[in-house]
A and B are shown apart, each in its own frame.
Chain A
Amino acid sequence: MAAVQGQPGMRAPARVGGWRRALLPVVRHEELLLLLLFLAVVAFFMVVEPSARSTTAYLNLLRDISPNLIAGVGLTLLLLSGEFDLSIGSMLAFSGVATVSVFNATDSMWLGILAGLLTGPLVGAVNGYLVCVQGMNSLMTTLGMMFVLRGIVYVWTNKTPVVDENKFTAFTAFYQSDVLGVPAPGLIALALIALGHVMLTRTEFGRNIYAIGGNPTAARVSGIAVNRNKFLLFVLSGTTAAIAGVLVASQTGTGYFDAGVQGFELVVIASAVLGGVSLNGGEGTLVGSMLGVLTLGMTGKGLRLMNVHITQQLVVTGIVMLIAVYLHGVRKRLLIESRSWEE
């Protein structure tokens, strides 16, 4: 017997349980989750450490963390396209040493800064050529580049810091200066973040980055120049790393051969991933990645304020990272529950 039912009725919006509904904005927007985590870390240190209650502490944090933020911008865009750059730690030393060496060779501050900044696109272009034109794996290519650059710096400096013989005070003063109460390096970082964010969310280039990272073949058959875009991203990653390197050199007017040697690249990658950037590419945001940098930076800063020994700092930093990864998992589950809507 045919049992025909009536016409389909109106679709009522679904009900989601109380506490889950409250969590929904956090589930939908990853950045909110990270912001909460960051604030939780801040709140923790404010409670346990009186010196963490001053505004200066946070402005100094912004100053200290600015190289990570800046290098993180280029690296995040590259990660989103599904590629890696492990050479940014060595870049930090390479561009810093180049800057101060050119100071001493030419007695010109501007030439030195220019030289330092130019190392970035140069090295980035080499990485980009090897990966995009020669088809080499980016993880191994940039790992190789990491050793090559570090080796060059060691040979070049004989493993001694390169000191600015001209004592360009403008160079060192810049790092310590404030504009409208905000540390100047922090402002550069914020400007680059804003630029990167707009590029990522509002331009064709940004959309292509996500498409390439999310599914390179689909991007290719949709007419996107996959390799050309990736090449540009390697150049960009090198460039932001070089800017960070010049800033590190300006802290004391010295080109350090060992700048970034303690896993700078890994810290930045870890921060980005902590901030929700997928290592497979295609997923994540720059804002999230930067919140990841800030969260890890804040953890380190707070521990230093508390005079926690460096070895114990490592433990706590690791724990914060694990918490972040755990929260990501929880969020994903909730997201699937709330969103999954197939057929």
Chain B
Amino acid sequence: MARRDEAAGEGTAVSDTRASAPPVAAPGRVVLAMEGIRKTFPGVVALDDVDFEVRAGEVHALLGENGAGKSTLIKIVAGLYRPDAGVIRVDGEPVEFRNPADSLERRIKVVYQELDLVPGLSVAENVFLGGYPRTSHGLVDFAAMRRRTTELLGELGLTIDPDRPVGELRVAQQQLVEIARALSRHAQLIVMDEPTSALSSGEVDILFGVIARLQERGVAIVYVSHKLDEIYRIADRVTVFRDGKRVVTEAAAATTPRQLVAWMVGRDLQDLFPKTAPEIGRPLLEARGVSGSGLHGIDLTVRAGEVVGIFGLMGAGINTVGRVLFGASERAGGTVALDGQAIRPNTPRDAIAKGLGLLTESRKDDGLVLPLSVRANMTLASLSRFANLSWIHGREEARAAGQWVDRLSIKTPSLAQPVRYLSGGNQQKVLMARWLLRQHNLKVLMLAEPTRGIDVGSKAEIYRLIDEMAHGGMGILFMSTEIPEILGIADRILVMREGRITAELTRAEATQERLVAAAAVGRAPASAGVAQEAGD
């Protein structure tokens, strides 16, 4: 195939990466310009007459709620979608991206949340995938490949063994391999789609270091994120999307967080954390000496009306607590009781029957049933509510599901849409709705990272719902790696490190510094996490 030949050609071109200085555009030059871009899908205008430009050496942040059009724009840049109207220029030349190869050819690389690496291949093989350097005999030149991979990673300030299978690396390291791969193809524009959603704070620092180096080389970065603090740390300019339109493009330094949120949401968001004074009652969920699945001696109590937060860095095991208490992961020892009734280990069915709920942290693995409709996914844990002797009353079910679609502003053409076709944020809302639909049978609801990938407006709605449920007498166990939300909604915070609870702070005591200190005590300096070989 022609494409393969091109790729091979590129592979040989790569051989002089080091010798000739990387050919990048002069700083400030417009690398990518999109004018009047329009893209529609049945029932929705995803992008409506959008202009967007990126300059060499800048970090251009892309902001917007779920369904605002960011992902569609990225997919057009990546060559996955073709716009219905509009012009795309790269280096001033009009181009047409018919497929991802066309986009790569123009030295544009998109790093998605779900990385497209081959887990079984080594780091070096992944970096040069599709364009292996050849020896004079036409065989793959593994030695050169290893050498150049080390060089490329070195330019990014990283030392990752080029021979290690990518599958053994942590997500953060995999992401950096993906970026090295972009460099091996002389990328002049790298798009990063929520790159920090699975990174610890130390890993985020390393990524930002890499981004700074890329900037120095004149590479343009489009950075998609929901996290405003990150945007203020690295972005030169921000563009905000809402409902398929570009609302504003502005120098990041000239904006305030409140302004950005208002642009995204379309109104002034008064209070992100509508926390009301709790009325704490009797103990509901009691865990004593729980171990297994990497946890050690977990003791915790959640009382009626109380929101207990569990905070820890990525890998501390905070989400495992919910899984083990619920029975989704193995419990080796200890007891769990809900309102005085013992909960059997390893049987989620028993936990649910007794009034415990768990919103799992992983959408695709144990959350969504992808081929099923939005409606069926929502009512999965509460179907018996709508069924009489197994017979489902479709109308009642649809009405109940429809209410939550409206309240959580889930963007879907219909209730019958397979959940597979929803965006990540909207899928997360569907899962949230699954437990909201069951809230009347719940005594305690455990939520693992419930707002991951969700836009600000819906986050506020979810925090409000959590507060409301707690006020109704439910106990909430809220597991999160995001400090602001933990501080914002929890009455009491447990901090975890390496599978153990290391600190307990009341709402009054808790500060960002204390949480970080408690979570990181005894850990190696954060920078060691990614750059060096990580033990786990």
Interface residues, chain A, with chain B CB atoms under 8 Å away: 1-5, 7-9, 11-16, 202-205, 207-208, 210-211, 214-215, 217-225, 278, 282-283, 338-343
Contact = CB atoms under 8 A, between A and B. Distances in A.
Contacts, number: 149
Given A207-B383, A218-B366, A219-B369, A339 B390 contact: no
Nearest to A339: B421
A13 B42 CA distance: 6
Interface string B13-27: 000000000000000
Contacts of A214: 369-372
Which 10 interchain pairs have the tightest Cβ spacing? Answer: A343-B71, A8-B243, A343-B423, A14-B40, A214-B369, A223-B352, A217-B366, A222-B381, A341-B41, A222-B380
Given A3-B248, A204-B387, A219-B380, 9 more contacts: A2-B248, A8-B245, A203-B391, A204-B383, A207-B376, A218-B367, A223-B349, A339-B42, A341-B43
Contacts of B381: 222-223
Interface of B: 40-46, 48, 66-72, 75, 242-250, 254, 263, 266, 326, 328, 348-349, 352-353, 358, 360, 365-372, 376, 380-381, 383-384, 387, 390-392, 394, 413, 417-418, 421-426, 434
Contact of B246 (A5, A202, A340, A341): A5
A314 B242 CA distance: 58
A215 B42 contact: no
Contacts of A343: 46, 66-72, 423-426
A16 B42 contact: yes
Nearest to B379: A207
Nearest to A208: B383
20 contacts: A3-B249, A5-B245, A5-B246, A14-B42, A14-B43, A203-B387, A203-B391, A207-B392, A214-B371, A215-B366, A215-B369, A218-B380, A220-B349, A220-B366, A339-B42, A339-B421, A340-B421, A342-B71, A343-B423, A343-B424
Residue of A211, A214, A217 ringed by the most chain B CB atoms within 10 A? A214
Contacts of A218: 366-369, 380
Contact of B390 (A203, A221, A222, A223): A203
B249 to A, nearest CB: 6
A211 B382 CA distance: 13
Contacts of B70: 343
Residue of A4, A5, A11, A342 ringed by the most chain B CB atoms within 10 A? A342
Nearest to A228: B349
A204 B372 contact: no
Contacts of B370: 214-215, 282
A2 B12 CA distance: 45
Contact of A205 (B266, B369, B390): B390
A225 B390 CA distance: 14
Contact of B371 (A207, A217, A282): A282
B395 to A, nearest CB: 12
B85 to A, nearest CB: 12
Contact of B434 (A215, A220, A222, A340): A222
Residue of B48, B254, B424 ringed by the most chain A CB atoms within 10 A? B48
A211 B46 contact: no
Contact of B366 (A221, A278, A338): A221
A339 B46 CA distance: 12
Nearest to B373: A210
B118 to A, nearest CB: 22
A8 B72 contact: no
Contacts of A217: 328, 365-366
Contacts of B413: 341
A224 B350 CA distance: 10
Contacts of B66: 343
Contacts of A207: 376, 380, 383, 392
B376 A210 contact: yes
A278 B418 CA distance: 15
A2 to B, nearest CB: 5
Contacts of B244: 8, 11
